[in-house]
Amino acid sequence: MSIPTHPTGSRTPNRLIHETSPYLLQHAYNPVDWYPWGEDALAMARQSDRPIMLSIGYSACHWCHVMERESFEDEVTASLMNSLYVNIKVDREERPDLDSVYMQAVQSLTGHGGWPMTVFLLPDGTPFYGGTYFPPERRHGMPAFRDVLTSVANAYRTQRADVVQSGQQLRDMIAPANLAPANESSLSLEVLRVAESAYAKTFDDVDGGFGRAPKFPQPANLEALLRIWRHTTNSATLQMATLTLDRMAQGGMYDHLGGGFHRYSVDAVWLVPHFEKMLYDNAQLARVYLASWQATGNTYHRDVCREILGYVLLEMTSTDGGFHATQDADSEGIEGKFFVWTPAEIAEVVGETDARVACAWFDVTDRGNFEHKNILHTARDRDVVATELGITVAELDDTTTRVRASLYQARETRVKPSRDDKVIVAWNGLMIRAFAEAGAILDDTAYLDAARNASEFILTTMASAGDESDPSGDFRLHRTFKDGQSRVNAFLEDYACLGVGLLALYEATGEVRWFLASQACASTIMKHFRDTEHGGFFDTSDYHETLVTRPKDLYDNAVPSGTSVACELVLRLASFTGVDTDAIVARDLLARLAKPMGTHPGAFGHLLCALDFAVSTPLQVAIIGTENDPGARSLIRELHRTYNPNRIVGIVCGDMDAAIATEIVPLLAARTVIGDRPTAYVCEHFACRLPTNDPSELASQLAR
């Protein structure tokens, strides 16, 4: 995204012009005297004795753009803001720590949250009032933004003691709660069975998903359901996952031409989305569709996975190898304009005959389903549509395949939504994992190359082994990269998500450098993020700047919490090494949270997956061979044929010889080829069954 310029060229840019975040740069020519978050802004607030107006959003946020047009571009509103406040603009994707702290404050005050987020702070950063979007005039029960600005500033001037007291009370409310004492006996499969019942109570058995509108994809909860089904074999549990996956991919939340999912559906039937596309959603959804194919053999889910990854390769991958963050909802200032169609537009592209088929399949009508146009979706079964059209299912498939390609090419001539092309480590870690697992399971080297390229980019561009502030040589990451600059100390979720992505890449390739880098991520987590007093992990490191509270997010939201991914990372690494020191910390946290995980599983989807790994006996598989050996590839293909999320894989077929690999990865120690042929070892607790060269025998051992 290029640096914006004011349309008239007459307005002087504010301080945000020196930032790299595309979201902050979008506001660089607002008449608001914006500051980025930092000591300069806080010092100005103290010096001028003015409160802080903190606005948090992100580049692909539709209502953030609306509030900018209505208020931040308005000269009168901006003048009021500049005279009464020190105004700070934050990109939530760049600073999830600030977003977490102040979102808790807004939710405590109002009972809900969202973006844009508007928070009023004392000069020391303590929040005392806040909300989300405020309109320019009073409407729908919401006060006008100018009225809010005036009344809050007046309270700060005339009722200072009350404001300070409210701020202190709010500060106490958002401090991390102490966790319940650990109870090792609570770590059992019973937690998953309790969660199974809780999921069923809110499941929509007609349209899939949980609860009513709006509906979010919740891939971590779908993955948890697949894992629970492996233990209980309850077909209703599998149906919760697969029906949801079907309905989402059939709905308008899925991009039927270009692949990839939009952020969420505003309705209960997955038809009308908020049109932004987020890297983290698509990374997690690619994995769960792939897992569903492994579990059920449903090739539709495999194809959706491939289309998601194809979209990411084409639209969201930089020339350097990193993955971009988001794609906007708006184009030409209109939400969804890039994605919607009329019957006439389709006929113009593919001709009347094919248009008849396309409109029937994608449910495109003159009336429309979104502001007099149509969001493409496939609500009906193929045989029903084919019968209605008087053609065979094969003819329908041939035509829709041809039409999709033509419509996609025509859509490419439209003005595209803008893209936030910064690289975020945590989200890249999720996508590295998706590509690595898909590369191994689908035997696709292009996917493995994408995972390698992104990993190489992050480790060479956004990582360091200590600096003048840390002479210990610890592995350190920056969170974001944009325009040649790495910025902001990385957070727990960055180290954890990258760590599991690198570990998946090691399992897919046998290239030990990824295993070593994954261990480095875990080491930094244990040294700098662990809460040694109350258990678990903080979101920020012990060398991070001091905020009004040190956040500790335990809940899995659209992005899994750093805590849940860190638990999974150290548990999986311990299964490779046999060293249980770090895994004890993870199991302690899981024991503390076992009860709420069972009763409120929707808030702990990924943590339930970590618990599943902790209470199961991971299957350890070692494959010893040589690089590109057909026999080794046959064993690896057989290994990935079945769904087993609690399996770990060590391979000696890659970039280091066996002696070095076995020294670094104890799972591989004393494993050798038998009869000069690639050999597989299936183990539990490092005790192995008879080694085999035969893929069918390997399949039999895996099944047992």
**Separation between Cα atoms, residue 656 and residue 472, nearest integer Å:** 27
Alpha carbons within 13 A on the beta-carbon side of 77: 20
| The pair of three-digit structure tokens given for residue 482, joined into one six-digit string | 């944009």
**pLDDT tens readout for residues 80-125:** 999 999 999 999 999 999 999 999 999 999 988 899 999 999 999 9
**pLDDT tens readout for residues 129-157:** 999 999 999 988 889 999 999 999 999 99
**pLDDT tens readout for residues 239-291:** 999 999 999 999 999 999 999 999 999 999 999 999 999 999 999 999 999 99
Average pLDDT over residues 425-432: 98
Is the pLDDT at 658 greater than 70, yes or no? no
Q: Which pLDDT score is estimated for 10?
A: 61
Average pLDDT, the chain: 93
Q: How far is CA 277 from CA 115, 285, 372, in A?
A: 16, 12, 23
Dihedral angle over CA of 566, 571, 575, 580, nearest 10: 110
**Separation between Cα atoms, residue 455 and residue 440, nearest integer Å:** 16
Q: What DSSP string runs through 607-660?
A: HHHHHHHHHS-PEEEEEE--TT-HHHHHHHHHHTSS--TTEEEEEESSSS-HHH
Q: Residue 556: pLDDT band by 50, 70, 90 thresholds?
A: very high
Q: Which pLDDT score is estimated for 472?
A: 54
CB 420 within 8 A of CB 22: yes
Strand, coil or helix: 541: coil
Q: Where are the domains of the chain?
A: 15-173, 617-704
Stronger pLDDT, 97 or 11, i.e. the higher one: 97
Q: Where are the alpha helices (DSSP H) in 422-511?
A: 425-441, 445-461, 492-509
**Separation between Cα atoms, residue 187 and residue 152, nearest integer Å:** 48
Gyration radius of the chain over CA positions: 26
- Determine whether domain 617-704 maps to CATH 3.40.640.10: no
Q: Which pLDDT score is estimated for 2?
A: 43
Is the pLDDT at 3 greater than 50, yes or no? no
CATH fold of 15-173 reads Glutaredoxin (3.40.30)
Stronger pLDDT, 416 or 3, i.e. the higher one: 416
Per mean pLDDT, which range of 190-199, 405-414, 601-610, 675-684 is the poorest? Answer: 675-684
Q: Which pLDDT score is estimated for 68?
A: 96
Is the pLDDT at 25 greater than 60, yes or no? yes
Q: Residue 572: pLDDT band by 50, 70, 90 thresholds?
A: very high
**Separation between Cα atoms, residue 377 and residue 418, nearest integer Å:** 23
- DSSP collapsed to 3 states, 560-594: CCHHHHHHHHHHHHHHHHCCCHHHHHHHHHHHHHH
**pLDDT tens readout for residues 48-62:** 999 999 999 998 888
Q: Which pLDDT score is estimated for 467?
A: 45
Q: Which pLDDT score is estimated for 282?
A: 98
Residue with tokens 């359901």: 225
| The pair of three-digit structure tokens given for residue 409, joined into one six-digit string | 């090419």
